[in-house]
A = this chain, B = another copy of it.
Amino acid sequence: MDRTLLKKGLRPTKQRSCVYETLLERKDHPTADEILLRVRKKLPTISLATVYNCLETLADCALIRQVNFDRSPSRFCANLSPHAHFICSRTGEIHDLNLSNKDILKLKSILPNGFQVDDFDLTFNGTT
C-alpha cells in the first residue's frame, strides 16, 4: 500500500494505513461511521473527516472500492477482484459474488456495438 501511495506522491500516514488495514481485517462492507468506530480502537483521536479523506485517497489509488446501494451511506471494501453484490432483503446481508472472466464477458455482451466499458456496477436484491 505504501508503495502505491508514494508512487502518487502521497504519504502513507498512520491514519491512512490504519483505515486500510481495518478494511482488510474483515470482508464486510462498513460505512464511514462504522470504519471510524473500528479505527478509533487503534487511533482514538482520528476524526470522521480524516476517515473520509483516507477513504477517498485509498479509493483514488484503487486500493479499495467505494460501493453505493441506492442512496444509503456509502460502503467500502478491499475486495478488488471484479464482483457483483447480492443484498438479502430479509437479513440485510451483503454478499460479494466474484465474477469469472466468462461472467464478465456475458455482462459485456449486453452492450450494443460502440460502447466502451470502463467499469460497471451490478447489484442483486433478493433472498438467500
Residue of B at shortest CB range from A68? B70
Q: Decide yes or no: A119 and B126 within 8 Å by CB, A70-B68, A71-B68, A71-B74 being known contacts.
A: yes
Is A50 an interface residue when CB atoms closer than 8 A count as contact?
A: no
Interface size in chain A (residues, C-beta < 8 A): 33
Is A114 an interface residue when CB atoms closer than 8 A count as contact?
A: yes
Interface residues of A (CB under 8 A from B): 66, 68, 70-71, 74, 84, 86, 89, 95, 97, 99, 103, 106-107, 109-112, 114-128
B89:A115 contact, CB within 8 angstroms: no
Q: How far is the CA of A92 from the CA of B66 in the complex (A)?
A: 20
Q: List 21 A-B contacts (CB under 8 A).
A: A68-B68, A68-B70, A71-B71, A86-B115, A89-B118, A97-B110, A97-B111, A106-B106, A106-B110, A107-B122, A111-B124, A114-B128, A115-B124, A115-B126, A117-B124, A117-B125, A118-B127, A119-B124, A119-B126, A120-B124, A122-B123
Q: How far is the CA of A97 from the CA of B106 in the complex (A)?
A: 15
